Copies of this chain bind each other. A is one copy, B any other.
Amino acid sequence: MHLIIDGFGANPSILESEELIYQFLDDYPSQIEMTKVAPPYVFRYVGSKPEDWGVSGFVVIAESHISIHTFPERRLVNIDVFSCKEFNPERVIKDVQAKFELTEVETHLLNRGLESYYLETVESKAV
């Protein structure tokens, strides 16, 4: 499952804080029963256009990741929650909306290919 959230109207004082983004990536996986495999990786960047500065962060969870890019001047946040384990997308959207004080969200949910015919072949051979 890959949940894609573009959130608008966010509180810029949250979006500009590396500490708050780090905290979110550090705490949130366990709230949705995901297992971090490494600490989050968060930093501030400055884009070629002055309004494009912001904070980027990742946390790797078993076989997948949560990523976040913030644009405080645009009150915009792009979040991806990509996990091999099922989770409740409505709950994540609601949590993110509350956390970043969003007024508007655009979301996509994809079911990504995880099983190839190679694994199926190996498994049916084993039976």
Contacts and interface: CB of A to CB of B under 8 A. Distances in A.
Contact of A76 (B2, B71, B116): B116
A52 interface: yes
A63 B74 contact: no
Interface in A75-115: 75-76, 78, 80, 82, 84, 104, 106, 108, 110, 112-115
Interface string A49-81: 001101010101011110101010111101010
Given A65-B58, A69-B65, A117 B43 contact: no
A18 interface: no
Contacts of A4: 2, 110, 112
Query: Taking the full assembly, how many copies of this chain does it contain?
Result: 2
A116 to B, nearest CB: 4
B63 A69 contact: yes
A127 interface: no
Contact of A112 (B6, B37, B52, B73): B6
12 contacts: A6-B113, A8-B118, A37-B45, A43-B60, A45-B60, A45-B63, A56-B60, A73-B122, A75-B116, A75-B118, A78-B112, A78-B113
